[in-house]
Amino acid sequence: MNNIKKLIATTSLALGLFALPTLTDASTSHTVQSGESFWKIATQYGVSVTSLLEENNRTSSALNAGETIKIPNSISEADKELLAKLVHAEAKGEPYAGKVAVATVVLNRLDHPDYPNTIKDVIYAKSSKGYYAFSPVKDGAINQTPNDEARKAVKEALAFRGQGKGSLYFYNPETATSEWIFSREVTTTIGNHRFAK
């Protein structure tokens, strides 16, 4: 009788181990709830709407409650947090749209061939003259804990990824000292920041 119990326990353990990949697979899919949209799901998972549509071979944005869609790989939680720290430090006191735009600049650089291919490397990049691209890296403000609005702005920027005006820079015209930055094409102005490419 004890041998049978051991066999059942061993079999159950083995089946449980083989079932683990299913749990992992479940984390890369989402069951659509009533009223959800690709935008809402993309924002929830921190992925772009475009990549979500592509991952699911969709040309239409129509969703049906109960259907299961695949969630594409996204940037890591650590990179999202680092980006939120930058947004918090760079856009404190700016409108929410400005916070989203700051995060979008970093993502645009990430997708641009002239810039590094990780969030961390984009944020900590130095110019050929040895200057950090973002002043909060130099002054240490990057190390502050971001607030919920900065984290939300990062999620929205990720969902919006690839759909903006291609801004690669932002600056405050009242405090900027580089003549070069004023030569860039301005794409929009939000709060105290001008965004440019």
pLDDT tens digits for range 68-109: 999 987 788 999 999 999 999 999 999 999 999 999 999 999
Q: Indicate whether 15 and 93 sit together in one domain.
A: no
Range of the domain at 62: 2-70
Distance of CA 116 to the CA centre of its chain: 16
Strands (E), 47-139: 68-70
Q: Indicate whether 91 and 174 sit together in one domain.
A: yes
| Cα(102)–Cα(134) distance, integer angstroms | 11
Interval 113-165: pLDDT, tens: 999 989 999 999 988 788 899 999 999 999 999 999 999 999 999 988 877 78
Burial of 176 (0-12, 13-18, 19+ CB in 10 A): middle
Q: Which of 70, 86, 110 is the last residue of a domain?
A: 70
The structural domain count of the chain equals 2
Interval 40-57: pLDDT, tens: 998 888 888 888 998 999
Q: Which of 47, 70, 93 is the last residue of a domain?
A: 70
| Cα(136)–Cα(90) distance, integer angstroms | 7
Say if pTM beats, i.e. exceeds, 0.85.
no
